[in-house]
Amino acid sequence: MKKNNDDEKKNKKVKKPKFAFQTRSQVDILDDGYRWRKYGQKAVKNNTFPRSYYRCTHHGCNVKKQVQRLTKDEGVVVTTYEGMHTHPIEKHTDNFEHILNQMHIYNPNNF
């Protein structure tokens, strides 16, 4: 079967802003000032720890985040944010600033 040109249009992807960072943390969920609801979890290939999926609970906001603890160093949590919040931060927290400070200390090149 030959594909027609219409199929190509469907492949157009809308890219959301995405960024990830690693933190050395005992807790999986960083207190980043937003409220999150877990909506999924799945096992990841070559990884001891499952990946958890969270969605911002604010009405109309589509921001998602993924949380994954590293197998090679279980003290490290990788958090990936996808999308932009459509609202101001839910509550002010010094905690997140503290976490961001930790980021500067953590250097993946040390492994």
Task: Please report, as ranges, the residues that interact with Zn ion according to CB under 5 A.
Answer: 56, 58, 61, 63, 85
C-alpha 83 chain-centroid distance: 10
Closer Cβ to Zn ion, 34 or 68, answer by number: 34
Q: How many angstroms separate the CA atoms of 13 and 5, rounded?
A: 16
Pick between residue 69 and residue 79 the one whose CB is nearest to Zn ion. 79
- Name the nearest CA neighbour of 86 among 46, 59, 51, 49: 59
Q: Which tokens is 87 given?
A: 């609202």
Alpha-carbon distance of 35 to 44, in angstroms, equals 25
Nearer to Zn ion (CB atom), residue 17 or residue 108: 17
